[in-house]
Structure 1
Amino acid sequence: MKSRIFVFCILFTAVSLYVSAEASIAPVYEASDVFPLVIASPDNRLRVELNSNQTSDIIYSFSANAKLIISDSKLGLNGIERAVPIGCSHRSNNTVWKPLWGKRARVPDSYNEVKIELTTYSLIIRAYNDGIAFRYEIPQGKPEKDLTEFNFTGNYTAWYYNGERANIGPEKLMDCSGKRFPVMTVKVDKDNYVAIHEADLSWGEPLVLQSRKQETRFDIASKPSNSWKVVMYGDKPGSLVDSHILELLNPPPAKSTDFNWVKPGVSVWDWRIAGAQVDGFRYDMSLASWKKMVDFASKNNIRYLSLDADWYGPEFGQQSDPLKGGKVAEVHEIIKYAKTKGVGIWLYLNDVGGRKFPIAQTLKQYGDWGAAGIKYGFMSGSAEEKNERTRMITELCAKNRLLCNFHDGPVHPYGQMRTFPNALTREYCQAQLDAGTPLQPKTFVTSVFVNMLAGPLDMNNGLADLLQTGRTHGAAYPTNTTLAGEAARTLITFSGVTVIPDLPENYQKHPELLQFISSQKMPWLESKTLDGEIGEFIVMARQANDKTWLIGAATNEKGRDLDIPIDFLKKGKFKAIIIQDGDNSDYRKPVESYKVMEKEVGRNDTLHVRLAPGGGACILITK
């Protein structure tokens, strides 16, 4: 049936084009002339079937491995003239994307696509091996409502993004009432998982979902945009984490744009250590402190230092000039000094300064100064305005060779790192040390299967002092983790810049943990989610660009023993350094205890680790 439909669509389009050229009038066909229509993934495991109902609405169903997951759901737009099908065409793609940085060095880009031409807009449907996507080609601002629905075939369990708070969920679909924000991750059964999000949101309002009371159907509550609406699919939750479908749905960079200067890496951070005293030295936001941090970074393969708020005056001050105020002279000095050490400097910019002073001029100056990037905070405006402003700032940063990191309720990531590789991360989560409430262990091992599906996250993991003594910035609340768990989280959390929050001296007290963090040499050659369950635990492996393998494991409030196969290694013998929680480690008490073991391993071995409640384990494997 699939072959017959595709051939029909190609002939159908040829006729349409011929008539249009001869008479300048496209023929109009009944919906029954186009539907039913089936689009299958390249591996034929995923299938989208399109049809029309009695009122000529376009209806789709989605199945995976012959299991129907979404059924009888509308596609289309309301608010413009009634759209009537006039033709369709099919194309396939089978190429490889080689990102400048990301979860892996080579990404297959394979899909089948159908484009249905209607009288007032076009509908494009793609089927990848790890999901499906829909897009409407429409003029900006014309339609009133996006009619796309997601009608699940059962009362499945879901989790949702929830700002700088713990995720919503687990929640049964029929118990949901009201609006929900993506990513929406759904457990269908033990062998089927899906997630609802969007990709390539170049204009319009970010996606908002609306549930129907006591139903398993979700509508779109946000205004229409030109984004792809995406149903990600995996046979286990880790398959969703490893997916690249969102990036692949974004266009590549303009050919005239050079992004070879973009370098992902680890960053130290001046904000959370302010006020701490070590050996008679008091850390604050000063040139002396910044130099100590740069020296530490340079010695430990740490690429960046992030300068946070107040360096150009109070961040919310109306008179704080981001080009002339505060400690601008010292910032010039630290940028120059850091360059001699091979370290880049990120600069914080608040939305007050970003709006009160010309943003284009500010970013050009930061680029001219030699800054590495900006961290943009507290953006104001409606969701649609924030999306447009975020994209504008990202483009200006690219023009001025600046990396960017958006914080404080940012627009959700949507795969934009393919078009703009300088978009390294966003605080689209409850961060470890930059939110109003403590991060619970179960929140971390939920966020990595929900928020992190959208793209790179800035979570500020990696404490080396669980007591957080002497700090003046941030709430004094429990850290709810262990030292081994904290180090593991730096690897598990996918980000183009991994911001670690502690003092150099605290990392130096724990050389094995520092070695694990320093070995995270990006860009990654490969990433694999080895095991995990939403809200329970996760095991992540990543291969650094020097071919070293690193594994991080983290758990919720429950301690657990894990057996980790390492069959992804090549043949031969390797050295494994295994760092795991100590016998008395527990997230409920700040006991800085962990155990270190070295052993020779091969690809047929399985590594056993014990995770304390709220804890984790780190494994470093070298040739």
Structure 2
Amino acid sequence: MNKSVMVIMLVCIVLLSGCKQQATNVYSPDGDISLSFSTDNDGKLLYEIKVKDSLFVSPSAMGLVEKSGLSLSDGLEIENVDFNSADDTWTQPWGENKAIRNKYNEMAVLLSDGSTVGLTVRFRVFDDGVGFRYEYDVRNVDSLFITDELTEFNIANDGVSWSIPASFETYELLYRTLPISGIDNANTPMTFKCGSVYASIHEAALTDFPEMTLKHTDGCHFKAELAPWPDGVKARIAGGKFVTPWRTIQIGGKAVDLINSSLILNLNEPCKLETTDWIRPMKYIGIWWGMHLGVETWYDGKRHGATTANAKRYIDFAAANNIDAVVYEGWNKGWENWGGSQEFDYTVPYDDFDIKEIAEYARKKGVKIIGHHETGGNVLNYERQLDNAYKWYSDMGINCVKTGYAGGLPDGNNHHGQFNVRHYRKVVETAAKYRTTLDVHEPIKDTGIRRTYPNMMTREGARGMEWNAWSDGNPPSHHVMLPFTRLLSGPMDYTPGIFDITYERIKNSPDRKQWNMKDSKDCRVNTTLAKQIANWVILYSPLQMASDMIENYEEHPAFQFFRDFDPDCDWSKALEGEPGEYVVIVRKAKDRYFLGAATDEESREVEIGLDFLEPGRVYDAVIYADAEDSDWETNPAAYRIMNRKVSYEDKLRIKMARGGGQAVYFRPIE
């Protein structure tokens, strides 16, 4: 063997022996995002992210902590690194986009302590961001008790952020615009901008783990904070093998790139249901808003909302106005226990609500019924009745259910810990057993489960319309903040569409003294009418509600938009916008398009190219716009409806009043 060959062999041996301390890299398919993984001299796990060669996330710790002291993070050495890639397209039965491209490069880093702990840290880098998770194989243990997660998100530079405070009980909080360094803690999605890069931190595929929030540690550095069990343990694991949710960072050059990202869905497992033909988007109305205003009650009595006669009236309105379904809240016994035992009976209606007669009446009219299960937080009572309640509904042809959890959970559990994550999953699986779709209020946040269980269609999980009935309400900026924050995680049942914006009809009613309505002059909806219409497009939900009492829609010309609206879209795109300022979104359903634009407290004009329309066709654009003198504070009900012939070569100038918006229905002219 000559000297040169020996030198080469020695160099190779040295390099191989040191590879466990070397950084390991993976790039996005377009090369703009790079992720590096390494272990330091103490065996600490670290990752960092660069965007177009600029440091975006500085070296950040990784791993978990176990109660017994078993090391799940330190002292692990790299045994192997596997690389993979994918580029495929999958379809879903409903969604903002029916076809989803899944294109990424993957790096799986296999680590071990040599005896007990095996860990694969799996990274996937897409053109629109990064996801990583921990896959543990701990040998010779019966159970594990996770007490902390070490994952850090050390943002390299300060910038501006949009988030709600961290809470393990509620997401119904107003959003804040703060410097990244000024955040004490935040729930996810937490959206921010550094320089010219927009990003949002969240999680995907939360199945049997507590939710992750973010705790500020120093500068622009944040650490994962998990919702605990009452004893302080964060996650209880049976056996030694488990996989965490994905930790995600969506990344884009424009704010709307985050809305157009499919990263969260792509990191969830494919659909587990054998068939999905029974799952379909719907428009709905319901006996609901009157209760929040105090005009009607959930419990039985002289002002009870869910009566047989009222139910049929809503069914008649739905049948006459191209509306698919009706929801009834307060139909079942148990509401009289509100604030006490919170015990509901999910198969016993109040005496004035003949559910079998109503179900048959709806069937003959071609209208679906959306059932309602309020738990008041008493999930143990709900689980005892779960199977029977869904079967009972299904036997009557009721295969869509709205659930609620407005109340404290038993035994000191919080809403967002592992206890309730497991409960929500149990409900989804039970509903699927009876071919039933779900609309969940007071939920665990969306992390893309709708890909795996598409019967999980929509959820609340933010301040929705009801806050306008009994508080100062949601400010105009709220509706143009949600698409860049909460809605990045998935659909929201915001329940838009109030036409009596200042509640004049009921405020002027001679019966008002009999109602329990708030007297505050500030109690109203803080938008213009045109923005309420636009929100049917902007605030995406496959179950989309016209939430006002039907009296306010009868003979109203602007309600024609909802009659024409199709929630079963095939394709969507956010065209322009900035968090909390304005947004413009278009959706295609079959051969028609629906555009929604909205602004904050400032009036605004934007010009939008119509190149999303099909070339070679002419469309009648029916425009629902603010009037010249519209203003969310002083003249919110003023609007105008205009028609214009357009094609894909045209541009549309959108003028919005303060707190206003615009909705456009594009129908092809044959």
**TM-score between the two structures when normalised by the length of structure 1:** 0.89
Pair 1:359 & 2:395 matched? no
Q: Deviations over 1:148-205 (max 9, x none)?
A: 111111111111135455534211122222x32111001113x310000000011111
Q: Which residue of 2 aligns with 1:518?
A: 563
Q: Deviations over 1:69-98 (max 9, x none)?
A: 111112223333342222121111111110
Pair 1:219 & 2:243 matched? no
Q: Which residue of 2 aligns with 1:185?
A: 191
Bigger mean CA offset, 381-390 vs 307-316: 307-316
Which of 36, 60, 64 is equivalent to 1:73? 60
SS at structure 1 position matched to 2:545: strand
Q: Which residue of 2 aligns with 1:116?
A: 109
Q: Structure 1 123/164 Cα, relative in aligned 2: closer, same or farther at 3 Å?
A: closer
SS at structure 2 position matched to 1:518: helix
User: In 1, distance between residues paired with 2:304 and 2:619?
Assistant: 40
Deviation at 1:607, TM superposition (A): 0.8
Q: Which residue of 1 aligns with 2:496?
A: 461
Pair 1:549 & 2:614 matched? no
User: In 1, distance between residues paired with 2:631 and 2:43?
Assistant: 60
SS at structure 2 position matched to 1:332: helix
Does the 8 Å CA contact 1:313/1:326 hold for their aligned counterparts?
no
What is the RMSD of the two structures over their aligned residues, measured on CA atoms? 2.5
User: In 2, distance between residues paired with 1:210 and 1:105?
Assistant: 36
User: In 2, distance between residues paired with 1:304 and 1:495?
Assistant: 14
Which of 117, 137, 144 is equivalent to 2:135? 137
Q: Which residue of 2 aligns with 1:402?
A: 436
User: In 1, distance between residues paired with 2:47 and 2:430?
Assistant: 40
Q: Which residue of 1 aligns with 2:239?
A: none
Does the 8 Å CA contact 1:41/1:127 hold for their aligned counterparts?
yes
User: In 1, distance between residues paired with 2:348 and 2:426?
Assistant: 23
Deviation at 1:520, TM superposition (A): 2.6
Whichever residue aligns with residue 567 of structure 1, its letter is: D
Q: Which runs of 5 or more residues in structure 1 are unaligned?
A: 1-28
Bigger mean CA offset, 351-360 vs 153-162: 351-360
Deviation at 1:617, TM superposition (A): 0.5
Whichever residue aligns with residue 493 of structure 1, its letter is: L
Does the 8 Å CA contact 1:529/1:539 hold for their aligned counterparts?
yes
Q: Which residue of 2 aligns with 1:324?
A: 348
Whichever residue aligns with residue 181 of structure 2, its letter is: M
Q: Deviations over 1:204-227 (max 9, x none)?
A: 1101111014x1110011146710
Deviation at 1:64, TM superposition (A): 2.1
User: In 1, distance between residues paired with 2:431 and 2:580?
Assistant: 36
Q: Which residue of 2 aligns with 1:12?
A: none
SS at structure 2 position matched to 1:364: helix
Which of 419, 422, 426 is equivalent to 2:459? 426
Q: Which residue of 1 aligns with 2:367?
A: 343
Pair 1:259 & 2:276 matched? yes
SS at structure 1 position matched to 2:439: strand
Deviation at 1:474, TM superposition (A): 7.0
User: In 2, distance between residues paired with 1:202 and 1:276?
Assistant: 40
Deviation at 1:550, TM superposition (A): 0.8
Q: Structure 1 588/467 Cα, relative in aligned 2: closer, same or farther at 3 Å?
A: same
SS at structure 2 position matched to 1:392: helix
User: In 2, distance between residues paired with 1:473 and 1:308?
Assistant: 17
Deviation at 1:143, TM superposition (A): 4.0
Q: Which residue of 1 aligns with 2:290?
A: 273
Pair 1:250 & 2:272 matched? no
Does the 8 Å CA contact 2:158/2:180 hold for their aligned counterparts?
yes
Pair 1:47 & 2:34 matched? yes
Q: Structure 1 311/416 Cα, relative in aligned 2: closer, same or farther at 3 Å?
A: same
Q: Which residue of 2 aligns with 1:484?
A: 530
Q: Which residue of 1 aligns with 2:420?
A: 386
Pair 1:370 & 2:397 matched? yes
Does the 8 Å CA contact 2:123/2:133 hold for their aligned counterparts?
yes
Identity of aligned residues (%): 27
Q: Which residue of 2 aligns with 1:154?
A: 157
Q: Which residue of 2 aligns with 1:235?
A: 253
Deviation at 1:509, TM superposition (A): 3.2
Does the 8 Å CA contact 1:199/1:250 hold for their aligned counterparts?
yes
Q: Which residue of 2 aligns with 1:14?
A: none
User: In 2, distance between residues paired with 1:538 and 1:608?
Assistant: 14
SS at structure 1 position matched to 2:380: helix
Bigger mean CA offset, 496-505 vs 439-448: 496-505
Does the 8 Å CA contact 1:131/1:232 hold for their aligned counterparts?
yes
Deviation at 1:510, TM superposition (A): 2.6
Q: Structure 1 37/474 Cα, relative in aligned 2: closer, same or farther at 3 Å?
A: farther
SS at structure 2 position matched to 1:417: helix
User: In 2, distance between residues paired with 1:559 and 1:499?
Assistant: 27
Q: Which residue of 1 aligns with 2:240?
A: none
Q: How many residue pairs are counted as aligned between the two chains?
A: 586
SS at structure 2 position matched to 1:358: helix
Q: Deviations over 1:286-331 (max 9, x none)?
A: 1222222122222333221111135334164546422124258622
SS at structure 1 position matched to 2:361: helix
Q: Structure 1 449/286 Cα, relative in aligned 2: closer, same or farther at 3 Å?
A: same
Greater C-alpha Rg: 2
Q: Which residue of 2 aligns with 1:173?
A: 180
Q: Structure 1 73/327 Cα, relative in aligned 2: closer, same or farther at 3 Å?
A: farther
User: In 2, distance between residues paired with 1:58 and 1:112?
Assistant: 20
Does the 8 Å CA contact 2:306/2:353 hold for their aligned counterparts?
no
Does the 8 Å CA contact 1:466/1:590 hold for their aligned counterparts?
no
Deviation at 1:590, TM superposition (A): 5.1
Q: Structure 1 247/289 Cα, relative in aligned 2: closer, same or farther at 3 Å?
A: same
Whichever residue aligns with residue 238 of structure 1, its letter is: V
**TM-score between the two structures when normalised by the length of structure 2:** 0.83
Whichever residue aligns with residue 432 of structure 1, its letter is: M
Q: Structure 1 164/94 Cα, relative in aligned 2: closer, same or farther at 3 Å?
A: closer
Q: Which residue of 1 aligns with 2:13?
A: none
Pair 1:601 & 2:599 matched? no
Q: Structure 1 31/264 Cα, relative in aligned 2: closer, same or farther at 3 Å?
A: farther
**1:604-615 alignment, distance < 5 Å:** 604-615=649-660
User: In 1, distance between residues paired with 2:27 and 2:174?
Assistant: 33
Q: Deviations over 1:10-35 (max 9, x none)?
A: xxxxxxxxxxxxxxxxxxx9773373
Q: Structure 1 373/293 Cα, relative in aligned 2: closer, same or farther at 3 Å?
A: same
User: In 2, distance between residues paired with 1:375 and 1:321?
Assistant: 15
Q: Structure 1 65/341 Cα, relative in aligned 2: closer, same or farther at 3 Å?
A: farther
Deviation at 1:373, TM superposition (A): 1.6
Does the 8 Å CA contact 2:26/2:125 hold for their aligned counterparts?
yes
Q: Which runs of 5 or more residues in structure 2 are unaligned?
A: 1-15, 138-142, 227-233, 236-242, 297-302, 507-511
Q: Which residue of 1 aligns with 2:664?
A: 619
Q: Structure 1 131/237 Cα, relative in aligned 2: closer, same or farther at 3 Å?
A: same
